[in-house]
Amino acid sequence: MHIPDGLLDPKISAGLMGAAAAVLGFCFARVRAMVTALKPAEALATVGAGVGSMGVKLKRVLTSDGERTIYQMGMVAALVFAAQMFNFPISNGTSGHLIGGVFAAVIVGPFAGSIVIAAVLLVQMLFFADGGLIAIGANIINLAVVGTLAAYYIYYWLNKVVPEWLAIISAAWISVLLAAFFCALELGFSGTIPFSVVIPAMLKVHLVIGIAEALITLALVNIFRGVRMRREM
């Protein structure tokens, strides 16, 4: 569901780029706070730096848990990138591929998950011409914000009332529909195609793609947790 350049109105593309930058900025701040800790600067001062360095300054340094979190984000991103290459056939001439937003958010958390999906989209756009340069804001909003950050909270609330596997597959299925709905809205607002045509068409196809997304997400979450647990034992 990577929108190429040309389908969206430039004003909408620019607006979505700004929105994407704002949300990602917030996510970056949250992840930075998660992976670093404040340490007094004098503990870091080199010998001979003098009494001037002995003030009560604080400095952010990467914690070892934080470093592990970043590597884990990289691992999830690599897995999502590979999985997105795998188009599975749906019906008469259509295929679908994973978004991976719910998978990333369940494993590394909603904010880190958004950054992971945004990084994958960026690499796809820069190196593989998958998704447009000007449409990158729209793609980040659809897949990394709606399909990841928002979908995570669906998982979060469902997890309180139903078993986790059900929460994961429901959130994954809804994430695809939500992303498709946002994509259709953007196309409609751009005047590319009337709302009444594009919204039902997008939702109909992604109802089926969402089922595959749900199953793959559940499998990936289990594989990822299984490998991690074996490593800790």
The answer to whether 16 and 137 are in contact (CB under 8 A) is yes
Among 17, 42, 97, 185, binds another protein (CB under 8 A): 97
Among 16, 24, 27, 35, binds another protein (CB under 8 A): 35
Tell me the two tokens of residue 58.
């604080």
Q: Which is nearer to another protein, 158 or 214 (CB)?
A: 214
Backbone φ and ψ of 40, nearest 5°: -60, 140
Tell me the two tokens of residue 204.
């109909």
Rg (CA), the chain: 20
**Min. distance of Cβ 220 from another protein in angstroms?**
9
Is there binding between residue 74 and another protein (CB under 8 A)?
yes
Report d(CA 168, CA 102) in Å as an integer.
7
CA 171-20-166 angle, to 5 degrees, is 5
Q: Which is nearer to another protein, 17 or 205 (CB)?
A: 205
**Min. distance of Cβ 141 from another protein in angstroms?**
14
Is there binding between residue 7 and another protein (CB under 8 A)?
yes
The residues near 223 (Cβ < 8 Å, ≥ 6 apart) are none
* Residues across the chain: 233
User: Taking contact as CB under 8 A, which single stretch among the options 9-17, 155-163, 166-174, 224-232 is the one that binds another protein?
Assistant: 224-232
Among 6, 10, 18, 55, binds another protein (CB under 8 A): 6
Smallest CA-to-CA distance from 192 within 8, 1, 3 is with 8
Tell me the two tokens of residue 1.
């569901």
From residue 127 to residue 156, the character string flagging contacts with another protein as x (rule: CB under 8 A) and all else as - is xxxxxxx-----------------------
231: exposed, middle or buried (Cβ count in 10 Å: 0-12, 13-18, 19+):
exposed
Is there binding between residue 94 and another protein (CB under 8 A)?
yes
Report d(CA 24, CA 32) in Å as an integer.
12
Is there binding between residue 120 and another protein (CB under 8 A)?
yes
Is there binding between residue 14 and another protein (CB under 8 A)?
no
Among 22, 49, 82, 219, binds another protein (CB under 8 A): 82
Is there binding between residue 126 and another protein (CB under 8 A)?
yes
The answer to whether 3 and 132 are in contact (CB under 8 A) is yes
Interaction site with another protein (CB under 8 A): 1-7, 35-36, 46, 61-62, 66-67, 70-75, 77-79, 81-83, 85-90, 93-97, 119-120, 123-133, 180, 183, 187, 192-193, 197-198, 201-202, 205-206, 209, 223-224, 227, 231
